[in-house]
Copies of this chain bind each other. A is one copy, B any other.
Amino acid sequence: MTKRKVSNPLALAVLALLTERSMHPYEMASTLRARAKEESIKLNYGSLYSVVESLQKHGLIEAIETLKEGRRPERTIYGITEPGRTEFADWLSELISVPVKEYTRFEAALSLLAGLPPDEVLGLLQLRAHRLTMEISAGESALARSAEQGLPRLFSIEFEYRITQARAELTFVEALIDEVADGRMEGYEFWRRVHESGEFPSNADIFGR
């Protein structure tokens, strides 16, 4: 299976919108915003317009008409093509069914954790735990609010996912805090020594390092 011609997830959202009805780029942006999809799909104008252009170049969408009302800039209305529908279904199917490794910033940070002394790391982790806790409760109340206003779960399931992940991260961070706090973490002695003695052992005696 070869790579997709247009790979920005924003393009997927564009295809989804045009599945419902034709519209012009700016309307796509405001619709996504109104539906709070920009929470889950990064949206910025530069990307939007270039993604639309690229979709058109590849025949997945087509310009339906260009309106010029008054002296405003013209709006080009786009519609989805048959290949576009196929691509949408295929792409979305893939995203759902095959888990892909994503590189998160926190994972990168964890992999370099030893670069900071343990007591500093401890404080930073505590800060993170605190902030995560706040984010989780903010997320929960946002979710409750939209449920109250009658939005079916089908359309806010992505927020539940995010909260789930945040909770798991919080649990992980809390466990990590405990281990670092009481020095139970394997490698702790080495860790502390390296930072106290100022510098790295000329040739580290830790396996793999």
How far does the alpha carbon of A150 sit from the alpha carbon of B176 in the complex, in Å? 20
CB-based contact B40/A110 at 8 Å: yes
Given A146-B208, A208-B34, A209-B35, A154 contacting B114 (CB threshold 8 A): yes
Residues on B with beta carbons closer than 8 Å to the beta carbon of A88: 115
Contact status of A108 and B161, CB under 8 A, knowing A92-B115, A115-B19, A128-B98:
no
List B contacts of A20 (CB < 8 A).
200, 204
A13 x B112 contact (CB < 8 A): yes
Complex: chain B residue closest to A32, CB-CB: B111
Give the contacting residue for A12; candidates B112, B123, B185, B200; CB below 8 A: B112
A side interface size, CB within 8 A: 84
Give A99-116 interface residues, CB cut-off 8 Å to B.
99-100, 102-116
The answer to whether A75 has its CB under 8 Å from any CB of chain B is no
Check A187–B152 contact: CB distance below 8 A.
yes
CB distance from A117 to the nearest CB of B (A): 10
Q: Considering only CB atoms, which chain B residue lies closest to A95 in the complex?
A: B109
Give every chain B residue within 8 A of A124 (Cβ-Cβ): 93, 96-97
Q: Are A161 and B99 in contact (CB under 8 A)?
A: no
Q: Determine if A127 is an interface residue (Cβ-Cβ < 8 Å).
A: yes
Is the C-beta of A186 less than 8 angstroms from some C-beta in chain B? yes
Does residue A120 face the partner (Cβ distance < 8 Å to B)?
Answer: yes
A195-209 interface code vs B (CB 8 A; 1 in, 0 out) = 000001000101111
- A sample of 10 cross-chain residue pairs with beta-carbon separation below 8 angstroms, ordered by A number, consists of A9-B103, A12-B108, A13-B111, A16-B112, A97-B127, A99-B131, A114-B155, A151-B207, A152-B186, A152-B187
Sorted nearest first, the 3 A-B pairs with minimum C-beta distance are A152-B187, A154-B187, A168-B168
